[in-house]
Structure 1
Amino acid sequence: MIAEILIFLVTTLLFYILFVYKKTHYFFEKKGLKYLPGIPMFGNMYHSTVGTKHYLEDLDVVYRAFPDEKYVGLIEGTSPIVLIRDPELIKTITVKDFDHFVNHKQFFDKDIDPLFGGSILMMKDDKWRDMRVTLSPAFTGSKMRLMMNFMSEVSHNITDYLKEHLSEEIHADDLVRRYTLDVIGSAGFGLQVNSLRDKNNEFFEIGMKLFTFDFQQKLAFFMSAECPQIAKLLGIRIFPPKVMNFFKDIITNTINYRKKNNVIRSDMIQLLMEASKGTLTDSSVDKNDVGFATTEEALKPRGDTREWTEDEIIGQVFVFFAAGFESVAGVITMCIHELALNHEVQEKLYQEILNHQQTNETLSYENVTQLKYLDCVVNESLRKWTGAIFMDRVCNKTYELPPPRKGGKPYLLRPGDVVYNMVNLIHMDEKYHPKPEVFDPDRFSDENKHKIQPFTFMPFGMGPRNCIASRFALLEIKVFIYDLVLNFKIAKSKNTSDPIRLHNNDFNIKAMGGTYVKFEPRSTQ
C-alpha cells in the first residue's frame, strides 16, 4: 500500500513537472518569441543552480543564442522571463515608459524577511516613490562630502596594516570586504570597527554570513523565487533570524541612544532618522558628480512627505549595508586583480595619483574629480565586473513591445509579466564595447567616452529606479584604490589567476580561486 502511494505521488510529481515544462515552452512559442529549451524545474539556469557555472554564464548562453533579436525568452526555473538585449528598448522600459514598469520582482517577502522585504528595494508603487523621494537628500553631494571622511579613515587603517605585511601574499577578497564593512560600520551605523586588527569581530562575521549562501539558503532562495506562496506558507527564510536580529538590534539601540542623549553624528542612521520625521532636506547646488557613472535623481517631491515608522527606517539602513558591503567589495577586488595583471594601466594611474598628491596633499570631495584616469579605471572595472547583472522590472499594466526582429510580431506583456534588462552582458558585448575582455580604461577617456552608446554602460541602473547610492559607492571605490596605488605596487603572486574567470556556485562577482596579490612598497615611500 505504501509503495503504491509513493509510486502515485512520484508519478504525479513527474507529470506536473513535465506539464509546467511544456507550458512554459508553449508560452513563448504561441507568442513567436525565440528561446532555448530548458531542463525541467531548472529551465535555462541548470548549471548555476547546481553550482557548476556562475549565474551570468547561464544567462550569457541565452543572450548570445539569438544575436539579431531585441529580446528573447528566458526560462528561469519554471518562470518565463523576457530577456531584453536591445539598448533602445531598455531605455524605453526603464525611462520613457517607466510608469508601466515601476516595480522589482518580489524576491523577498516582507512577512518572512522583514528587513529586505521592507526595504526600498522591494517597496512598490506609491510607497516606493515616497520612500525614494524621502531618502534622496541623504545621498546628495553635500551629504557624501561628510561621508568621505569616514572612508578615508578606514582606508588609512588598511594601508597601515599592509605596510606591516609587505612580504605576505594577501587575499584581496578578504581584505576588501573588511574595508567595505568598516566603512559601512562607520558611515552607516556609527560604529568604530577595525576588522583587520580585530579579525573575528561580530559585525564582520555576521556580515559574511549574510552573503555566504549555504545549500539550505540557496534552496530557500529558489523556493522564494519559484514558489513564493508555498515559501510564505512554510515560513521559509533566506537569511537566518540571528543575522536579521543582530542588525535590527544594532540599529534600534543606536536610534534609541541618540534620541535619549540628543547625540548627532553625520552618518546614515542620523540622516535616516531625519528622513523618518520628514526633516531631511538638501539645498545644495553642488554639481560635483563624483564620476562618469554617477546616476541622477529623476523623481521630485509632490506635496507632503510621508512619515515612516522605525521598522521601515531600519529596513533602509539594512539594505544600505547589504549593497555597500558586498556589491562594492566585488568591484574593488576585481579592480585590484585587473591592476595586478595590467602593469601599464597601474603605472599610468600611479603617476596621476602621485601628481595629484603632490599638488593637493590629500584626496577630498572637492578634488576627486581631478583624477580623470582614476575615473576611467573605476568605470572600466564597473563595465567588466559590475554586480548589477540585470534590471528586473514587473509589468503593471498591459504593454506592447515592438517586434523582436524585422518581420516579427509585437509581443504583448500583461500585468505580472517580468522582464530582465541586461547589464553585464551588454557591457561585455563586442557590438558595443570592442574587445570587451581587454581591460582598457581609455574607453572612458574624455576623447573616447562620447563613443559609448547610451544604455550600453549601466553599472548603477537606469531611470527612476536606478541606484540611489551611486555617489557613495564611487567614492568608496576611489578612496581605497587611490590609497593603495599611492602607497604600493599591486603585484601578481603565485596564486593570482590570469585570465580572470568568475567563481561558480555564487551569485556574487568573485574570481575563480579568489584574488591573491602582493603589495610592494613604492620607491618614494
Structure 2
Amino acid sequence: MIVLLLGMAALIAAFYYYCIRPMSYWKNMGIQQTEPIWFFGDSWRNVLRYQNVCDMIDYLYYGSGNGRYGGCYTFSKPTLIVKDPGLFKQIFVKDFDHFVDHYIFQASDADPLWGKNLIALKGEKWREMRSILSPCFTSSKMKAMFPLMTGCAERFTQHLLSLKQDQIRLEMKETFTRYATDVIASTAFGIEVDSMKQPDNPFYLMGKRATTFDYWKTMRFFMNVLVPKVCQIFRIRILDDETMSFFVNLVEDTIRMREEKGIVRPDMIHLMMEARKGKYNKSEEGTNDETSMSHVDDTTLRSITNMDVAAQAMIFFFGGFETSSNLMSFMAYELAGHQEVQTKLRKEIEDTWNECNGKLTYEALLKMKYLDMVISETLRKWPINIATDRLCTKAYTIEPAGDEERALHIQKGTYLSFPTYAVQHDPKYFPDPDKFDPERFSSENVHKVLPYTYLPFGAGPRSCIGNRFALLETKALFFYLLKSFQIVYIDKSCVPLVISKTNFNFAMEGGNWLGLTPLKKEA
C-alpha cells in the first residue's frame, strides 16, 4: 500500500512538474499570457480543430495582452509572442547573432531530408549552406531561369486554351500546384514535366504525397514536437521511406547523368555540384544576403553529400507545392472578387505585351508596377507564412520601452514566435485590413507602410532565400493566364472565403473553386 501511495504521489508530482507548472512560466515572470490548458498549452485550439490557423494566430496576438510582447505556450513549451515592429527589426537584424536558429525539433540523422534542409540547419552549418545556395537566387540566375518559367507558364495556359470550353471550372490550389511542380522540375532538377497534360506523373504525385498532412503524418509531426528524443531513437520520421527514397534517388540520378554527359543548367543542383568540387565562383555573389562564402573552406564544400543536395531540393519542392501555390491560389480568388483590379492588371499586361512586340522579357516583367502591387497586397492579406519563429541561441535582454515595462531577460533556448498574419491585419498598421486594396503599395502610398509590419518573407539574414523565385514564377503565370482568361467566381466558390479548421495546412474551406472564361479576341 505504501509503495502504491508513493507511486501515485510520484505520478502526481511528475504531472504537476511537466504539465501544470510550465503553464505559469510567463505569469511568474510578470508577463501577460494567454489562458493555456495543461499539456496542450495553446496548441489545443489547432490540434482539436477548434480554430483555424489564422484565428489561432489572432488569438495569440490579442490574447497575450497589449504590450510589445506576451506569453503563450506551444504545448508545454513557453513561447514569447513578439508583437512590436521595432522588436522585429531588433531581433531579425540588429541582434541577429542572438537569434540565429529556427526552433526545429527533428534531428538530422533521424530524418535527413527534413533535418538537413536550409530551414532546419542551425548555427555554422546554416551559414555555410545559406552561403552555398544564395548564388542560386541572384538577379542573373533569375534571368537565366526566366525562359524556363515562362515556358511552363505558356504550356499551362495553352493547355487550358486547348480545352476549348466556354468556362473552365478548376480547384485553383491543386491546379497551381501542378504549375509550380513543373517550374521546380525544370529549374531545380532539369526535368521537363507537364503536370496538366500528364496529371499522374510521378514527380507531381510524390510531391503531393510529401506535402499532404494526413492524419498519420500529422500525428508523426506532433510526436516529433512532443517527444523528439523518442522519435529519434525509434526513427519515427515525418516523411515516409518511399518519399525519402524517391527524392534521394532523383537527385542521385540527376547528378550522375550530368556528370556522365557534361550537362550544365543554371540551377541549384549544378551550383552545389560545382561547390563541392571547390569550383565555387565568388563572382556569383552579390545578393542582398548577409552571408558570405569567405568562411566556407574547401573541406566543408567537398563534404557536401547527395543527401545534402536532396534535402535542399526537397525544401524547394515544399516551397513550390505549398507557399507558391498558396500565393497564386489566393491571388486568383481576390482577382475573381475584384474585377476592377483584374481589368486594370490586364490592361498593364496588354501594354507590356505590345511594348515587347509579343515576346515577354525578364526586364519588362519586373517593370510592371501594378502587378507588383497586386501581389504585394495578396501577400499582405494572405501571407504565405502566417507566423515565423526564432530560437534564442545566446541569453538576451529586451530593454524596457517605457515606465510600464521592465527589462525582460530571455534565457538561451527560449522559443519566440512572430505572428505575421496578425500584424498584417492589425488596423493600426493597415486600415480596413480585410479589404483587398493594391493601392496600399502604390508609389504614392507605400511609404505609409511602417517598416517591419509587412513581412511575408521574413526579414534579416534568415529571411526566405527563395522570395525572388516565388515572385517571378507567380508574375510569369498571371501574365499569361490573364492575357487569355478572365477569372470569375462560380457556384462552387467559397464566398466569403473561409479558412479550413480541419486542414493542417493553410487552406480554404471546401477548396478554391473558380472559373476561367476565355477572352474574346478582336477580329
1:292-315 deviations in whole A, cap 9, x for unaligned? xxx931223325543123322222
Q: Which moved more, 1:366-375 or 1:356-365?
A: 356-365
Give the match's secondary structure for 2:363: coil
**Conservation of the 8 A alpha-carbon contact between 2:49 and 2:501:** yes
- 1:285, CA displacement in angstroms? 9.6
Residue of structure 1 equivalent to 2:204: 204
The answer on 1:452 being equivalent to 2:428 is no
1:419-470 deviations in whole A, cap 9, x for unaligned? 1122121111111111111111111111111111110111111011111111
Query: What is the letter of the counterpart of residue 180 of structure 1?
Result: A
Residue of structure 2 equivalent to 1:229: 229
Match for residue 55 of structure 2 among 54, 57, 80 = 57
Match for residue 330 of structure 1 among 322, 326, 335 = 326
Q: Which moved more, 1:108-117 or 1:52-61?
A: 52-61
Match for residue 429 of structure 1 among 419, 426, 430 = 426
Give the match's secondary structure for 1:420: strand
Residue of structure 2 equivalent to 1:33: 31
Residue of structure 1 equivalent to 2:281: 281
Q: Distance in 2 between matches of 1:235 and 1:388?
A: 28
Residue of structure 1 equivalent to 2:416: 419
Q: Distance in 2 between matches of 1:231 and 1:304?
A: 32
**Conservation of the 8 A alpha-carbon contact between 2:282 and 2:293:** no
Query: What is the letter of the counterpart of residue 136 of structure 1?
Result: S
Query: What is the letter of the counterpart of residue 266 of structure 2?
Result: S
Residue of structure 2 equivalent to 1:480: 477
Distance 1:403 1:479, change over 3 A: same
Query: What is the letter of the counterpart of residue 301 of structure 1?
Result: M
- 1:492, CA displacement in angstroms? 0.7
Q: Which moved more, 1:413-422 or 1:333-342?
A: 413-422
Residue of structure 1 equivalent to 2:290: 298
**Conservation of the 8 A alpha-carbon contact between 1:82 and 1:419:** yes
Distance 1:139 1:280, change over 3 A: farther
Match for residue 88 of structure 2 among 81, 87, 90 = 90
1:342-366 deviations in whole A, cap 9, x for unaligned? 1111111111111111111233221
Give the match's secondary structure for 1:477: helix
**Conservation of the 8 A alpha-carbon contact between 1:383 and 1:427:** yes
- 1:282, CA displacement in angstroms? 5.8
Give the match's secondary structure for 1:53: coil
Residue of structure 2 equivalent to 1:185: 185
- 1:15, CA displacement in angstroms? 6.0
Match for residue 375 of structure 2 among 365, 375, 378 = 378
Q: Distance in 2 between matches of 1:54 and 1:275?
A: 43
Query: Percent identity over the alignment?
Result: 33
Distance 1:404 1:301, change over 3 A: same
* Matches for 1:75-86 after TM superposition, within 5 Å: 75-86=73-84
Residue of structure 2 equivalent to 1:289: none
**Size of the alignment, in residue pairs?**
514
Q: Distance in 1 between matches of 2:118 and 2:285?
A: 26
* Matches for 1:357-368 after TM superposition, within 5 Å: 357-360=353-356, 361-368=358-365
Q: Which moved more, 1:76-85 or 1:272-281?
A: 272-281
Structure 2: 5+ residue stretches without partners: none
Distance 1:106 1:285, change over 3 A: closer
Give the match's secondary structure for 1:508: coil
Match for residue 144 of structure 1 among 142, 145, 160 = 142
**Conservation of the 8 A alpha-carbon contact between 2:134 and 2:289:** yes
Q: Distance in 2 between matches of 1:42 and 1:405?
A: 34
Q: Distance in 2 between matches of 1:33 and 1:398?
A: 18
Structure 1: 5+ residue stretches without partners: 287-294
Residue of structure 1 equivalent to 2:40: 42
Distance 1:412 1:277, change over 3 A: same
* Matches for 1:188-267 after TM superposition, within 5 Å: 188-267=188-267
Residue of structure 1 equivalent to 2:22: 24
Distance 1:106 1:284, change over 3 A: closer
1:27-67 deviations in whole A, cap 9, x for unaligned? 11221111112122221121211234222322211201245
Query: What is the letter of the counterpart of residue 73 of structure 1?
Result: G
Q: Distance in 1 between matches of 2:105 and 2:29?
A: 26
Give the match's secondary structure for 1:57: helix
Q: Which moved more, 1:232-241 or 1:92-101?
A: 232-241
**Conservation of the 8 A alpha-carbon contact between 1:171 and 1:517:** yes
Match for residue 500 of structure 1 among 488, 497, 501 = 497
- 1:18, CA displacement in angstroms? 4.4
**Conservation of the 8 A alpha-carbon contact between 1:363 and 1:479:** no
Q: Distance in 2 between matches of 1:506 and 1:323?
A: 18
Normalised to the residue count of structure 1, the TM-score between the two structures is 0.93
- 1:275, CA displacement in angstroms? 2.8
**Conservation of the 8 A alpha-carbon contact between 2:111 and 2:235:** no
Residue of structure 2 equivalent to 1:343: 339
**Conservation of the 8 A alpha-carbon contact between 2:251 and 2:309:** no
Distance 1:476 1:31, change over 3 A: same
Q: Distance in 1 between matches of 2:268 and 2:191?
A: 11
Normalised to the residue count of structure 2, the TM-score between the two structures is 0.93
**Conservation of the 8 A alpha-carbon contact between 1:276 and 1:310:** no
Residue of structure 1 equivalent to 2:120: 122
- 1:26, CA displacement in angstroms? 2.5
Distance 1:199 1:17, change over 3 A: farther
Q: Distance in 1 between matches of 2:278 and 2:442?
A: 41
Q: Which moved more, 1:20-29 or 1:249-258?
A: 20-29
**Conservation of the 8 A alpha-carbon contact between 1:138 and 1:272:** no
1:142-163 deviations in whole A, cap 9, x for unaligned? 0111111111111112111222
Query: What is the letter of the counterpart of residue 175 of structure 2?
Result: L
Q: Distance in 1 between matches of 2:503 and 2:310?
A: 27
Give the match's secondary structure for 1:74: strand
Match for residue 135 of structure 1 among 133, 136, 139 = 133
1:4-41 deviations in whole A, cap 9, x for unaligned? 99x99999767644443332222112211111121222
- 1:406, CA displacement in angstroms? 4.2
Q: Distance in 1 between matches of 2:16 and 2:168?
A: 54
**Conservation of the 8 A alpha-carbon contact between 1:397 and 1:414:** yes
Q: Distance in 1 between matches of 2:15 and 2:52?
A: 25
Q: Distance in 2 between matches of 1:56 and 1:113?
A: 29
**Conservation of the 8 A alpha-carbon contact between 2:424 and 2:454:** yes
Q: Distance in 2 between matches of 1:370 and 1:243?
A: 40
1:73-101 deviations in whole A, cap 9, x for unaligned? 11111111001010000110010000111
Give the match's secondary structure for 2:456: coil
Q: Distance in 2 between matches of 1:346 and 1:281?
A: 43
1:121-152 deviations in whole A, cap 9, x for unaligned? 11111121111112111110101111111111
Distance 1:166 1:47, change over 3 A: farther
**Conservation of the 8 A alpha-carbon contact between 1:70 and 1:405:** no
Give the match's secondary structure for 1:187: helix
* Matches for 1:139-178 after TM superposition, within 5 Å: 139-163=137-161, 164=163, 165-178=165-178
1:256-308 deviations in whole A, cap 9, x for unaligned? 1111221222333222222333423363699xxxxxxxx93122332554312
RMSD: 2.3
**Conservation of the 8 A alpha-carbon contact between 1:35 and 1:72:** yes
Distance 1:250 1:431, change over 3 A: same
Give the match's secondary structure for 2:158: helix
Q: Distance in 1 between matches of 2:41 and 2:442?
A: 41
Residue of structure 2 equivalent to 1:291: none
**Conservation of the 8 A alpha-carbon contact between 2:72 and 2:78:** yes
Give the match's secondary structure for 2:107: coil
